Amino acid sequence: MSKQLIRVYHNLDFEDVRAHTLEYGVLSGICSKCKHLNVRLEDIGCPQCGTSFKYIAFQSVREHLPKLLRISQERSGVQFIDYQDFKRIEGEQKARSILG
Ligand SMILES: [Zn+2]
């Protein structure tokens, strides 16, 4: 068996994604629900609002590939989502709510 990372497109409920994503930058993460800063990659939930992280969006997957592989082995329930997709949809929803 040769396991490789291949991106798959899923139809996800964005309300769920927005409430349970850890946005991970270079050194630390942000909770997508309450925007709490300095969340650690090891945190399975937000230290501030307590939401569980079902999704992780790495700003730079290439930079964090070893971490991604480790987490995918250790935490089978976590799904990795595309950061660009996440920010694009979040932006679209924000614009829509402003325009009414
Ligand atoms: Zn939070």
| CA dist., res. 31 & res. 44, Å (int) | 11
Domain range annotation of the chain: 14-99
Query: Measured in angstroms, how far is the CA atom of residue 22 from the centroid of ligand 1?
Result: 9
Q: Give the tens place of pLDDT for each residue, 19-77.
A: 999 999 989 999 999 999 999 999 999 999 999 999 999 999 989 999 999 998 899 89
User: What integer pLDDT is reported at residue 57 of this predicted model?
Assistant: 97
pLDDT of residue 39: 97
- Ligand 1 centroid–CA 54 distance in Å is 13
Comparing 4 with 83, the larger pLDDT belongs to: 83
38 is written with which tokens?
């300095």
CA of 49 to the centre of ligand 1 (A): 4
Q: How far is the CA of 45 from the centre of ligand 1 (A)?
A: 8
pLDDT of residue 1: 85
Residue 100 pLDDT greater than 90, yes or no: no
pLDDT (0 to 100) of residue 4: 85
pLDDT value at position 5?
85
Predicted local confidence at residue 76, as pLDDT? 86
DSSP state of 76: T
pLDDT of the residue at 3: 82
Instruction: Report how far ligand 1's centroid is from the alpha carbon of 3 (Å).
Output: 33
Q: What is the DSSP string of 16-73?
A: HHHHSEEEE-SS-EEETTT--S-B-TT-SB-TTT--B--EEEES-TTTTHHHHHHHHH
